[in-house]
Structure 1
């Protein structure tokens, strides 16, 4: 699944062994990768050669995917991120509107205590809802983007360029498992962090009255760094879970197990590759974000020089400026997300080639695509 050309019959995932070559399902250590010199030359039906990939192959393949199908990779990403930006704008606007109402209530001498309390409660609820909406919009948007982009890139590996409609038809039945796998991964990372933060704050507060609690807070603080490293290591081991949910048609838990299997014995290589693409994308984001910040700050200073702080419209102008800034930042991420998604999909393909001789399946799929 995921490597079948639209409109063709699926390729058998278990091709028959030839010339003593192990089956693709023979498992780690039986792929023949370390025993064969056949990788000296490999077919290249799509954006990568069908052999174990180097860092250069991963980077060039990722940018080749962007060049070959920018309409889906960039267009779809920008569309989804624009919707996310709109939702995020509302998530910012509603709490701000509630705070403005609260400010008017507290400054009104005629306002009763119940009115002020109601406004305060409404402001708090709207802020909490805003954060929840912000998280859900970002989470679902990222899941939709990663699903469609991983399918699109996987098809380009075998030389097939698909449309958004074709990609969506291949992804829509896998959305719930993919979202489930992503959510499980989020819980695995978030729950220990939340428990640590709650424990640290509780010990810190108790430390005001107890030296023992204060010492325990120090211990909790020291535990924080190893905990972060351990959780980041887990995120690397489960990196391929959403991709497995889409391309291998697995459930959420099975996808996590599958990712763990794929990264077994390849943790440091996977970590290094993830850090590399993180640095590359981080540099791109920082450069563009700096330019945006300079422009926004210039517009802000120009506005402040002529604005009156007694005018209530001034506050609303700042909200508009904040929403515009958020939209521009979203556009920046729209340019980077396709690079990251293509890179991780190719990492997944490379790992299957290394561990399971998946190049045979890809070669057969490329021959039957058309």
Structure 2
């Protein structure tokens, strides 16, 4: 019988096997050949041969194999996504140049997810500074009490040391002090200064450790109480102290080695040359290891491992990290100066009224209670504001470098509860 118009000639087609009630008289071999293509692969979706090579992200115009529904990712425990680094996951590459053009028909990348204070993508300078300030503003109940307590304790001890120890140093005197008097006075003052410096170091380490935990939670959109931050930071405090002492002592030894030949030979020019070499070397090492503290706290690593991690993360981005760190230092110094200097000037004016003009010669103006207390109040306010900004910028620089190099944004998205984040390519906008 002739085929009537509009009817297809019976024969095997890829859609026959999917229609209910299809004819049964098909070739068994053809049916068997099609069966494997109809079955989804066991164990969920796998990376296919069409997967782009590492280091690239697929665009919407790239042909892809048919996708099967992906099971939701299990919810990680709080704080997940940081862990010790074991290399990028399979299929996760590094970010290329941000903002590159996409494939045919692409309307641009959709806005990055922002579960917390930063978007989950490579950050620019403004986003890093804004993230630090936003965390201090939105989580002030946790951030400000930590820095306020630490700054207050440190400044109270500093005032007591300066009032009862440094005030004993002779400034001017009608009688020439004996050598033993000078040695005793300087010895006691140096001991008090060392003790004061150690207390300041301990306070700074505790504040830095707890603030690091708070900022890491803020990135995920989670809040953290002071007690929770303390419990998370406490196991790593001794290691953070060791890291800080190692970097400080190492810097002192480096400077000593470079200027020692000039001192030993009595050659001032050689000593100055050693100092000129030491300063840029210290700066380079300081930036190179600037991310060791957040790496140690968030990855629960050792001192040596955190130094290696910082060196690896900073590699290739030294100038960028240096610029952001230097700008942050300039901003915080300017803010601190605005707060401290007016109170210090007021204290000096009160001291001049109490001690008279001779107080400047004897040092009584600066050693009076009014200038010491007002200066300490200004320092407490300044440190309460600037310490979180400095700590936050360091933590966000660490997060940014890991997003750029290790696709940490995928882990952070899962930790924040964003299912299937980054699993599919961006689709063009719908609705028109």
Aligned to 2:382: 332
Contact 1:46 1:160 in 2 (8 A): yes
Q: Indicate the larger mover: 296-305 or 330-339.
A: 296-305
Question: Whole-Å Cα distance in 2 between the matches of residues 81 and 13 of structure 1?
Answer: 29
CA deviations 1:239-285 (Å, max 9, x no partner) are 01111111110111111111111111111111111111112112212
Note closer, same or farther for the CA distance 1:200–1:93 as it changes in structure 2 (3 Å cut): farther
Aligned to 1:245: 296
Which SS does the other structure have where 1:318 is aligned? coil
1:254 pairs with 2:305: yes
1:366 pairs with 2:403: no
Which SS does the other structure have where 2:115 is aligned? coil
Higher helix share: 1
Which SS does the other structure have where 2:113 is aligned? coil
Cα distance, 1:125 vs structure 2: 2.1
Contact 2:351 2:365 in 1 (8 A): no
1:25 pairs with 2:75: no
Cα distance, 1:10 vs structure 2: 5.9
Equivalent in 239, 243, 257 of residue 177 of structure 1: 239
Aligned residues: 329
Q: Indicate the larger mover: 352-361 or 221-230.
A: 221-230
Which SS does the other structure have where 2:199 is aligned? helix
CA deviations 1:159-193 (Å, max 9, x no partner) are 00111001001001110111111111112222112
Question: Whole-Å Cα distance in 1 between the matches of residues 366 and 124 of structure 2?
Answer: 50
Cα distance, 1:218 vs structure 2: 0.6
Q: Indicate the larger mover: 258-267 or 116-125.
A: 116-125
Question: Whole-Å Cα distance in 2 between the matches of residues 71 and 282 of structure 1?
Answer: 24
Question: Whole-Å Cα distance in 2 between the matches of residues 308 and 42 of structure 1?
Answer: 64
1:296 pairs with 2:347: yes
Cα distance, 1:232 vs structure 2: 0.5
Contact 1:289 1:332 in 2 (8 A): yes
Question: Whole-Å Cα distance in 1 between the matches of residues 366 and 332 of structure 2?
Answer: 32
Gaps of 5+ in 1: 1-6, 15-22, 108-112, 207-213
Q: How does 1:116-195 map to 2 (within 5 A)?
A: 119-195=181-257
Contact 1:80 1:145 in 2 (8 A): yes
Question: Whole-Å Cα distance in 2 between the matches of residues 45 and 296 of structure 1?
Answer: 46
Question: Whole-Å Cα distance in 2 between the matches of residues 227 and 99 of structure 1?
Answer: 32
Note closer, same or farther for the CA distance 1:121–1:243 as it changes in structure 2 (3 Å cut): same
Aligned to 2:116: 46
Equivalent in 257, 263, 266 of residue 314 of structure 2: 263
Q: Indicate the larger mover: 349-358 or 277-286.
A: 277-286
Contact 1:91 1:130 in 2 (8 A): yes
Question: Whole-Å Cα distance in 1 between the matches of residues 138 and 109 of structure 2?
Answer: 25
Cα distance, 1:290 vs structure 2: 2.6
Contact 1:244 1:255 in 2 (8 A): yes
Alignment RMSD, CA only? 3.2
Gaps of 5+ in 2: 1-75, 103-107, 420-432
Note closer, same or farther for the CA distance 1:300–1:185 as it changes in structure 2 (3 Å cut): same
Aligned to 2:394: 344
Aligned to 1:318: 367
1:71 pairs with 2:124: no
Note closer, same or farther for the CA distance 1:94–1:125 as it changes in structure 2 (3 Å cut): farther
CA deviations 1:199-240 (Å, max 9, x no partner) are 44444xx3xxxxxxx3xx213213322320111010001001
Question: Whole-Å Cα distance in 1 between the matches of residues 81 and 210 of structure 2?
Answer: 23
Contact 2:236 2:300 in 1 (8 A): yes
Note closer, same or farther for the CA distance 1:288–1:147 as it changes in structure 2 (3 Å cut): same
Question: Whole-Å Cα distance in 1 between the matches of residues 254 and 371 of structure 2?
Answer: 33
Contact 2:82 2:298 in 1 (8 A): no
Contact 2:347 2:371 in 1 (8 A): no
Specify the structure having the higher radius of gyration (Cα). Answer: 2
Contact 1:45 1:157 in 2 (8 A): yes
Note closer, same or farther for the CA distance 1:308–1:262 as it changes in structure 2 (3 Å cut): closer
Cα distance, 1:323 vs structure 2: 2.8
TM-score computed with the length of structure 1 as normaliser: 0.79
Note closer, same or farther for the CA distance 1:199–1:140 as it changes in structure 2 (3 Å cut): farther
State the structure with bigger RCO (CA 8 A, min sep 6), 1 or 2: 1
Question: Whole-Å Cα distance in 2 between the matches of residues 39 and 263 of structure 1?
Answer: 27
Contact 2:351 2:368 in 1 (8 A): no
Contact 1:39 1:51 in 2 (8 A): no
